[in-house]
Chain A
Amino acid sequence: MADSENLITVKDLTKTYRTGDIEVRALSAVSLTINKGEFVAIMGASGSGKSTFMNILGCLDSPTSGEYLMEGVDILGRNKNELAELRNNKLGFIFQSFNILPRTSAQENVELPLLYNNKVAAKERKEKAFNALKSVGLADRINSMPNQLSGGQQQRVAIARALVNDPIIIMADEPTGNLDSRTSYEIMEIFQKLNDKGITIVMVTHEPDIAQFAKSNIVFKDGKIIANNPVKDRINATEELKKIKTLAEEKAST
Chain B
Amino acid sequence: MRILNLLKVAYRSLNRNKLRSFLTMLGIIIGVASVIAMLAIGEGSNQNIKASVASLGTNSIMIFPGANFSGGVRQGASTTQTIKLEDVDAIATRCDLVNHVSPVDQKRVQAIFGSQNWGTTILGVRNDYLTIRSLTIAKGSGFTLSDDHAAAKVCVVGVTVVLNLFGDENADPVGQMIRINNIPVKITGVLTKMGQNTFGQDQDDIILAPFSTVQKRMMSSSVYVNSILASGISEDQISDAVDEISSLLREKHKLAPSDDNDFTVRTQSDISNIFGTISKVMTILLASIAGISLLVGGIGIMNIMLVSVTERTREIGIRMAIGAKGRDVLIQFMIESIVISFVGGIIGIALGISISELVAKFASWPVVITLSSILLSFVFSASIGLFFGWYPARKAAALNPIDALRYE
Partner-B contacts on A (CB < 8 A): 55, 58, 60-62, 80-81, 84-85, 87-89, 93, 95, 99-101, 103-104, 108, 112-113, 115-118, 122, 161-162, 165
Tell me which residues across on chain B come within 8 A of A58, comparing CB atoms.
321
Give the contacting residue for B323; candidates A87, A99, A122; CB below 8 A.
A87
Tell me which residues across on chain B come within 8 A of A55, comparing CB atoms.
402
Tell me which residues across on chain A come within 8 A of B328, comparing CB atoms.
84, 116
7 of the cross-chain contacts (CB-CB < 8 Å) are A55-B402, A60-B321, A60-B400, A84-B320, A87-B401, A99-B405, A104-B12
Which positions 1-15 of chain B face chain A at CB distance < 8 Å? 1-2, 4-6, 8-9, 12
Partner-A contacts on B (CB < 8 A): 1-2, 4-6, 8-9, 12, 16-17, 314-315, 317-328, 400-402, 405
Given contacts A62-B400, A112-B319, contact A84 B325 (CB under 8 A): yes
In the bound complex, what is the Cα–Cα distance between A85 and B5 (angstroms)? 16
In the bound complex, what is the Cα–Cα distance between A85 and B325 (angstroms)? 8
Given contacts A62-B400, A88-B322, A103-B17, contact A115 B405 (CB under 8 A): no
In chain A, what residue has the closest Cβ to B325? A84
For the A-B complex with A84-B324, A113-B323 known, give 9 more contacts whose Cβ atoms are closer than 8 Å: A61-B400, A61-B402, A80-B326, A81-B325, A84-B328, A93-B322, A99-B314, A99-B318, A115-B8
Interface of B is mostly: helix
Given contacts A101-B318, A115-B8, A115-B9, contact A88 B323 (CB under 8 A): yes
In the bound complex, what is the Cα–Cα distance between A99 and B319 (angstroms)? 10
Give the contacting residue for B401; candidates A60, A85, A101, A103; CB below 8 A.
A60
Q: Decide: B402 and A60 in contact? CB cutoff 8 A.
A: yes
Q: Decide: A112 and B16 in contact? CB cutoff 8 A.
A: no
In the bound complex, what is the Cα–Cα distance between A108 and B324 (angstroms)? 15
Tell me which residues across on chain B come within 8 A of A118, comparing CB atoms.
1-2
Tell me which residues across on chain A come within 8 A of B16, comparing CB atoms.
103-104
CB distance from B355 to the nearest CB of A (A): 33
In the bound complex, what is the Cα–Cα distance between A84 and B398 (angstroms)? 12
Tell me which residues across on chain A come within 8 A of B4, comparing CB atoms.
122
Q: Decide: B405 and A60 in contact? CB cutoff 8 A.
A: yes
